[in-house]
Amino acid sequence: MSFSHHDLDALAAILRDAARAEILPRFRRLAPGQIRAKSGPLDLVTDADEAAEAAITAALARRFPGALVVGEEGAGRDPTLLARLAAAPLAFVVDPVDGTANFAAGLPLFGCMAAAIVEGAVVAAAIHDPIGDDVALALRGAGAWLRGADGAAQPLRVAAPAPVAAMAGTVSWRYLPQPLQARVCGNLPRLAAAWDYRCAAHEYRLLAAGACHFVLFNRLLPWDHAPGWLLHQEAGGFSAQFDGTAYRPGVTAGGLICAPDRDAFEALRAAILEP
């Protein structure tokens, strides 16, 4: 099954419509009972997450009949959805509000993202910024670009390689197991700079636009990473898991480093992960 530019435009429109109808009207207007913890205090869900995912799922079902939709909240209710991802002729992974903690705190740093997956391969991605009303898009083999609210598009390209001491990027260390977490945090001074926006959507957008050199993640839930991984790939970057194997959307552990090229990946892996 192929996935066309027209299909990608439809996906982007679905995310934008959900953001306008379900996410932005609730931003900075959530009552305490509309914010809830899931697995722990760092794992939140809001009424906006649930309403936006329901709207996106319904719209995808209308536009792509028979496609499997694996949303963050839906997968929480039905974990078997993840197991069906690799074999589905067409599937979508959806993160309705990526950066929920920021959204719940009233910080304008969150995104709405989705990826199309055909028989286990990520073929299209859209990461919408509801505040800026623009969307970063990627189509397998066709590149990556940013489309503004006015419809104008500009290509995305990763940063040029640099020595490790000159590279800056994001490191999501919160979900790293010990003692790796302590080692990674202790190694961060080897880099020029490192930060964590608590929002993979914006971190991947910065990465694909060349505004930072790398990202590092450990917990690899597909709705968090399949869209950004393809965006980075199509913007010219190289990525792999901590052990050097290729990323696959059905794998949820093993870490991920995205870098400008393979040499930069190897240098970053050594600098950040090794004693």
Q: Are residues 47 and 139 in the same domain?
A: yes
Q: Are residues 71 and 182 in the same domain?
A: no
Which residues sit opposite 100 in a β-bridge?
A: none
258 contacts 144 by C-beta, under 8 angstroms = no
Contacts (Cβ under 8 Å, ≥6 apart) of 91: 67, 68, 69, 70, 84, 85, 116, 117, 118
Q: Are residues 51 and 150 in the same domain?
A: yes
Average predicted confidence (pLDDT) for the chain: 96
CATH number of the structural domain spanning residue 87: 3.30.540.10
pLDDT at 41 over 80: no
Domain boundary among 155, 180, 212: 155
pLDDT at 240 over 80: yes
pLDDT at 42 over 80: no
Q: Are residues 65 and 150 in the same domain?
A: yes
pTM of the predicted structure, to 2 decimals: 0.96
User: Could you list the residue range(s) of the whole structural domain that residue 200 is in?
Assistant: 164-273
Q: Are residues 146 and 22 in the same domain?
A: yes
CATH number of the structural domain spanning residue 232: 3.40.190.80
Domain boundary among 126, 155, 184: 155
Count of structural domains within the chain: 2
Q: Are residues 240 and 181 in the same domain?
A: yes
The amino acid that residue 260 corresponds to is: P
Query: Given this model, what pLDDT does residue 43 score?
Result: 78
Q: Are residues 138 and 215 in the same domain?
A: no
DSSP class of residue 206 equals H
> What tokens does 257 get?
């480093």
Q: What is the pLDDT of residues 193-205, one digit of tens each?
A: 999 999 999 999 9
Pairing of strands 168-171, 193-195: parallel
Q: What is the pLDDT of residues 174-225, one digit of tens each?
A: 989 999 999 999 999 999 999 999 999 999 999 999 999 999 999 999 999 9
The amino acid that residue 167 corresponds to is: M
Query: Given this model, what pLDDT does residue 198 score?
Result: 95
Rounded to an integer, the average pLDDT of 126-130 is 98
